[in-house]
Amino acid sequence: MSETEFDPKMLEALVCPVTQTTLSYDAEKRELVSKAAKMAFPVRNGIPIMLVDEARRLDL
């Protein structure tokens, strides 16, 4: 794993900042997805950006 990849083990410690529910990782889009909040949080340089202002709204 390169230093710019997201470590999926981090999912054990991270929760959605809006709903406090679990997240899933979309490796293709490099996002952490919160189905409960219908939001996707970007992962940049292997670092999850857990700011609501940076999140993308999802049409689930």
- Delimit the domains of the chain by residue range: 8-57
Residue 6 confidence (pLDDT): 87
Q: Are 16 and 23 in contact (CB under 8 A)?
A: yes
Digit-coded pLDDT (tens) for 2-59: 556 888 898 999 999 999 999 999 999 999 999 999 999 999 999 999 999 999 999 9
Q: Are 24 and 36 in contact (CB under 8 A)?
A: no
Residue 18 confidence (pLDDT): 97
CATH code linked to domain 8-57: 2.20.25.10
Three-class DSSP category at 43? strand
